[in-house]
Structure 1
Amino acid sequence: MSEKQDHVPGAVVRISEIVGSSPNSFSDAVRNAVQAAAQTVRGIRGVEVIGSNADVDENGNLSLYKVHCKIAFVVER
Structure 2
Amino acid sequence: MGGAYKAIEMVGTSEQSFDDATRSAVKRAGETMRNLEWLEVCEQRAYIAGGEIREFQVKVKVWFKLDDGSKES
- Structure (1 or 2) with the greater strand fraction: 2
What is the aligned length? Answer: 68
Task: Give runs of ≥4 in structure 1 deviating > 3 Å.
Answer: none
Counterpart in 1 of 2:25? Answer: 33
TM-score, scaled relative to structure 1: 0.85
For residues 40 and 51 of structure 2, what CA distance do their matches in structure 1 show? 28
For residues 62 and 38 of structure 2, what CA distance do their matches in structure 1 show? 6
Q: Identity of counterpart residues, as a percentage?
A: 31
For residues 63 and 15 of structure 2, what CA distance do their matches in structure 1 show? 25
State the Cα deviation string for residues 18-75 of structure 1 (Å, max 9, x = none): 0000000000000000000000010000110000101001x21000000000000000
5+ residue gaps, structure 1? 1-6
TM-score, scaled relative to structure 2: 0.90
Counterpart in 2 of 1:61? Answer: 52
